[in-house]
Every structure is written in structure tokens, then in C-alpha cells.
Amino acid sequence: MVRYHLNHKMVDWEDDGTYIFTNPKLGKADQQLIKVNKIPPVKGTVWVGSSGTTAEHSFKLLGLKKSAFLASAEAVCEHLHVTESDVWLNVLPRFHVGGLSIEARSHVSGCLVVQHKEPHFDIKLFCKAIEQFKVTMTSLVPTQVYEIVKNNVIAPKTLRVLLVGGGHLSDYLYQQAISLGWPVVLTYGMTELCSQIATSRLEDIFKPERPKAYLLNHIEAKTDDKDYLYIKSKALFFKKIIFKKETVELSGPESDWYKTNDMVHLEKDDVLKFIGRGSSMYKISGELVNLAQLNRLLSNILHEEGFTSSASLKTSPHLKYGHQVNLVVEGVENLSAGQKLKEKFNSQVAKFEAIKNIYFVKKINTNAMGKVLEDIWG
């Protein structure tokens, strides 16, 4: 039986209480680290486990003030014209900023939130819930949009906004989703800013070309000479706790302008164009290679070719060239399929960007939102 909660809040957005949310799959040793290390007693704070993709630490918590969540929520609701007449279906994890931010938007707008309680995403149950509760808005990650396209599911008529974040949605999936009637709105954000930073506009829904993302009104942004993004906002986190195996580190933004690890282009009319993460840039044969961009190309090819297994690109050190690009495929070893994918990819990139080796793994490591971790090997 499918279970739902209607307006069941995880957080009282008006009190001075402190809340801590972590992935339920967090190991016992990591859970113990939280217990033995005191969390700074700051009133009206939500501590959220970050969904970052690096493997340099065990895990981290970000301290976000409730006022920061609400500042972000007000900006999102204004951008998307959210009102008390809307119904928002949430299928994202509630221990993640993606799920919690939906509750904050409900608090400022008065809209109803339908919390889907199924442990795994099921496209049939998802659509049934939209129809049953006359849902107008929902949020998904690209892996869930893939399920929509793969099953050729027509969008329910009541839905006016399908927010897609938590990673890059390939051009192929975007085109297929809107052709099925899904009102896709693309968004770029991060836990450090209580979710959304830049989001496409309602008037661009169903346009065939990929829509641009516009900075929300709580964001001030600038870049340095290397295109790293700096942000100033009322929604910015105030403290970060990094739990390592033997140490615990506390830090916070060094100034009002927070330097992210993302590289972007800021264009006229407050348009933000994502380039990639700093950690995804590598030198190969003296050329700067954007692995995130290459993975977006791979994603398009996977969908166009109907490749059913998950796959991703991973660099490894190379004595002569500095680094080389490798293809990592999840599942049973299938050399012919892997070779076909390699050849298709290599035909569309420069020689120094080409895949050199193919590896098959039991599982590709991802976080709760489906992002591939830097420690990709399963």
C-alpha cells in the first residue's frame, strides 16, 4: 500500500530548535562521530549532510539557519509563482536539502505538500499520486527523468512545473521529456545555498532549445579570472563540519563572498551557465579537459543508443600525458557493448579527450541524489 503524508513537516520553521539530518545509510562509525562531537548550539539551525561528490573526507554537515532556508524559499516561490493553491509532490529525500527546501516553500507560500513515502522511485506510483492529489508541482533528479522517458510516460494534466536539479539533465532527456508533455524547469543549486541558485523561467517551458538559468533574487554572483563562482546571499550556510577518520574540522565562509568549487559563465540579464566543477578539470597532453562536459556528452550517447547500463568517465594518472580518460560501466561485463560505446564517444571528441580503457564494476558509487561520487569504483 502506498503511504502519503499531507503537510507533515520535519522542521518547525518558527521555533529556535536545532535539527540534524543525515543519510539513514550513514555508517555506525560516522553516526558515533556526530554523537561524541558536540554540534555548535546555534538557535534556529538545520544541520544537513552535504551531497558533495568528493571523497576527501568521511562526511560533512552544513549549518543552515532557518532564516536562510526561508529566504531561499521566498525567492523560489516568487520565481515559480507558487501560491497556496499549488500542490507539491515530494519524492526527494527529506534528509537532503532538496526535500527540506520543499517544506520551507510550503511554509512561505501556504501550498500543500504531498510526501511520497515509498522507499524507491516508482514511475507508476509517482503518476498515480499526481493524479490522486491533483499535483501541480514536483521535483526530480535526472535519473528519475530517465525513468519517465524510458517508459514513455505522458505527463499528467494537472502538473504545471517539473523542477529538475541534482545534476545535469542531458539535452536528449530534456527534449524527450518535453515531447511527452512534462513541463521541465531546469535548476542549478547547492546545499550551501539551501538549494536553488539559478533556475529557468516559466515562460520558457516547452521551448525546444535548452532553457537558460537565471539567478534568483537572493543571489549576488561574480567570477574570478578562472571562472570560479563567488556568491553572496542571505541563504548562505554559516558553518561547515568535516568529519574525517581521526579529526573533526569546523569552518565557515571566510567573507560575505563565498567561493564555490564551480566554474560558470555569468552572462547578461543574470543568466548563469554552468561549466563544471573545479575538481573535474584535468590537464591531458597539455590541454585542459573538462570531465564534467565529457560526461554530459557520454550521457547523451547512452540515451540515444539505448544503452541500459549506467556508465561514467573517470580519469587516471598517466606518466606521459598527465592523465587519461577511462570508461567505467556498471554491471555484467559486455566487451562488445563497451567497445561500441567507446568508439561512438571517441568519434565526437578530440584525440586527447578519447577513452583509453574500459572497466566494468559491480556498482558505480553515487550519493542519495544520484550524483556519481569521485570515488566511483563500486
Proportion of the chain in helix, strand, coil states, percent, rounded to 5 = 30, 30, 40
Asked if residue 289 and residue 264 are part of one domain, the reply reads no
Domain count, the chain: 2
Contact of 122 with 147, CB cutoff 8 Å: no
Domain interval for residue 299: 285-361
Asked if residue 30 and residue 137 are part of one domain, the reply reads yes
Asked if residue 208 and residue 152 are part of one domain, the reply reads yes
Which burial class, exposed, middle or buried, applies to 247 when counting CB atoms under 10 A from its CB (0-12, 13-18, 19+)?
Answer: exposed
Final residue belonging to a domain, choices 255, 277, 299: 277
For residue 297, is it within any domain? Answer: yes
Kind of pairing between the strands at 87-90 and 137-140 = parallel
Asked if residue 209 and residue 340 are part of one domain, the reply reads no
Band of the pLDDT at 46, cuts 50, 70, 90?
very high
If you average pLDDT over residues 314-325, what whole number do you get?
A: 85
Distance between CA atoms of 189 and 290, rounded to whole angstroms?
20
Task: Identify the CA nearest to 137 among candidates 83, 88, 104.
Answer: 88
Asked if residue 153 and residue 39 are part of one domain, the reply reads yes
At residue 105, φ and ψ (nearest 5 deg) are -65, -35
Q: pTM (2 decimals)?
A: 0.80
Asked if residue 346 and residue 224 are part of one domain, the reply reads no
Asked if residue 302 and residue 271 are part of one domain, the reply reads no
Determine the pLDDT at residue 52: 47
For residue 262, is it within any domain? Answer: yes
Task: Identify the CA nearest to 162 among candidates 197, 108, 216, 202.
Answer: 202
For residue 295, is it within any domain? Answer: yes
For residue 368, is it within any domain? Answer: no
Convert the pLDDT of each residue in 138-170 to its tens digit. 999 888 998 899 899 999 999 999 999 977 788
For residue 367, is it within any domain? Answer: no
- What CATH number corresponds to the domain at position 342? 3.30.300.30
Asked if residue 313 and residue 212 are part of one domain, the reply reads no
Task: Identify the CA nearest to 370 among candidates 177, 187, 146, 193.
Answer: 146
Distance between start and end Cα atoms, the chain = 33
Asked if residue 219 and residue 343 are part of one domain, the reply reads no
Convert the pLDDT of each residue in 264-302 to its tens digit. 999 999 999 998 778 788 888 878 788 888 998 999 899
Final residue belonging to a domain, choices 231, 260, 277: 277
Asked if residue 11 and residue 114 are part of one domain, the reply reads yes
Q: Tell me which amino acid residue 90 is.
A: N
Asked if residue 238 and residue 294 are part of one domain, the reply reads no
Residues 6+ apart with CB under 8 A from 226: 263
Determine the pLDDT at residue 54: 45
Final residue belonging to a domain, choices 233, 249, 277: 277
Which three cell numbers, joined as nine digits, stand for 307? 544503452
Contact of 273 with 265, CB cutoff 8 Å: yes
